[in-house]
Amino acid sequence: YAIVDLIRRKRDCGTWTPDEARWIINAFTAGIVADEQMSALAMAVFFRGMAPAELDAWTEAMIATGSRLDYSGLGRPTADKHSTGGVGDKITLPLTPLVAACGVAVPQLSGRGLGHTGGTLDKLDSIPGWRSDLPPARVRAQLEDVGGVIVAAGPDLAPADRKLYALRDVTGTVESIPLIASSIMSKKIAEGTGTLVLDVKVGSGAFMKDIDRARTLAETMVRLGTRAGVRTTALLTDMDTPLGLTAGNALEVGEALEVLAGGGPADVVDLTLALAREMLAGAGVDADPAEVLASGRAMDRWRRLVRAQGGDPDAPLPVAREHETLTAESDGVIGGVDALGVGLAAWHLGAGRARKEDQVQAGAGIQLHVRPGDRVRTGQRLVTLHTDTPERFEAARRALAGAVTLLGPEGHVDE
């Protein structure tokens, strides 16, 4: 095939045959299609989309650029969860040991932070000694022994995605439903899970700001997973307000530990249990995750999982060197806490990266002291900012301005 003709055809609203879609992925991975050609093609897809038959072939080809793992001989069912990313979304941390303690093995593939959204691997890196780059044989051994593992995608897992994502990241072509769906699902299908539950986030702090696009993304991913023989379901969940009371790596690990200990914010507990129920139902296991959480068995499993990956579950979590607390300037009621503002503030404080090669600060981030609907008095604490680099406070304060709205006694916005 001539790649320039295939780019032109997509640009002009035409479609590719399944063979052509497969060829594009293989030729790009082999270096026959140049980066600039693939970038132009990704932009054409951004504007024109892909028909189901094109996307199916494209995704299959992405999976086939690496190996597809198979855990059917494990002796117990497998289930994984994927969140499309949000602010304060630490659900994977309590969920993985909880579902493992219910008898379902969890080969949890996780990623790093992207923009203002956090990444599970960055959070776990704040545990002293923790490692998430395990080779496939270690992953399998840990699934047999502990029943859960949280790892980065290895080099043999849909390598076409790694190469394509790097281009999309720098060419403004991340936000395309077929490109996002094929990127996520190629990795999740190749990873070998039997059941997959998608947590598709909707709202200011999510990549999908409106419910219609979120629903289309969810339906597209469920169709790709189901076609590939993975029992796939999706929940659409709110990301207008951050999840829980923390955004930032070690701060979120601390909150996940509260959940595993039987406490923690109600929204984090509720979403953990809702996703656990979906995973257990998909895997065909009849267990009550609320009971398992309350029994302490999920916490026991967490400790085994952390130890198996080199971490010390008893080591103190890193704390940022500096903090600053913002307080209410008047009496009132909290009208809203905006996820995007909180996510950007945490990112400015050092919890996220400006460039891929940047380091994140383990202790940096935001701690909320209030939730929407809370009544506050003048001087009461609203938000604490944490960082090792106090020159970042100002940018974070600016990002937070207007994120926490305080309704005065007459219902008007004071802050």
Residues that bind ligand URA (CB under 6 A): 165, 174, 179-180, 183-184
Burial class from Cβ neighbours inside 10 Å (0-12, 13-18, 19+) for residue 409 reads exposed
Q: Phi and psi of 403, rounded to 5°?
A: -75, -35
Residue that has been written with the tokens 């998430």 in this structure: 132
Residue 183 known to be catalytic: yes
Choose, from 183, 186, 188, 204, the residue flagged as catalytic: 183
Choose, from 122, 161, 199, 338, the residue flagged as catalytic: 161
Q: How far is the CB of 393 from ligand URA (least distance, A)?
A: 30
Residue 161 known to be catalytic: yes
Q: How far is the CB of 398 from ligand URA (least distance, A)?
A: 27
CA dihedral sign, ordered 341, 215, 271, 256: negative
Residue 168 known to be catalytic: yes
- Dist. CA 176–CA 10, nearest whole Å: 14
Amino acid identity for residue 203 in this structure = G
Nearest to 69 by CA among 118, 140, 171, 159: 140
Q: Considering beta carbons, is residue 220 or 387 the nearer one to ligand URA?
A: 220
Choose, from 10, 22, 81, 82, the residue flagged as catalytic: 82
Under DSSP, the state recorded for 316 is P
What does the DSSP assignment read for 322-364?
A: EEEEEE-SSSEEEEEE-HHHHHHHHIIIIIS-SSTTPPPPSS-
Quote the tokens at residue 42.
Answer: 């990704």
- Dist. CA 16–CA 22, nearest whole Å: 10
Q: Considering beta carbons, is residue 162 or 323 the nearer one to ligand URA?
A: 162
Q: Considering beta carbons, is residue 221 or 337 the nearer one to ligand URA?
A: 221
Q: How far is the CB of 191 from ligand URA (least distance, A)?
A: 12
Q: How far is the CB of 85 from ligand URA (least distance, A)?
A: 7
Q: Considering beta carbons, is residue 167 or 285 the nearer one to ligand URA?
A: 167
Q: Considering beta carbons, is residue 130 or 207 the nearer one to ligand URA?
A: 207
Q: Considering beta carbons, is residue 46 or 393 the nearer one to ligand URA?
A: 46
Q: How far is the CB of 11 from ligand URA (least distance, A)?
A: 21
Q: Considering beta carbons, is residue 179 or 399 the nearer one to ligand URA?
A: 179
Residue that has been written with the tokens 């793992």 in this structure: 69
CA dihedral sign, ordered 249, 333, 239, 353: negative
Choose, from 10, 123, 187, 369, the residue flagged as catalytic: 187
The residue at minimum Cβ distance from ligand URA is: 183
Q: How far is the CB of 280 from ligand URA (least distance, A)?
A: 25
Contacts of 378 (CB under 8 A, 6+ apart): 327, 328, 329, 330, 331
Please give the radius of gyration of the chain, using alpha carbons only, rounded to the nearest integer. Answer: 22
Give CA 361 to chain center in angstroms: 18
Q: How far is the CB of 179 from ligand URA (least distance, A)?
A: 6
Catalytic amino acids? 82, 161, 168, 183, 187
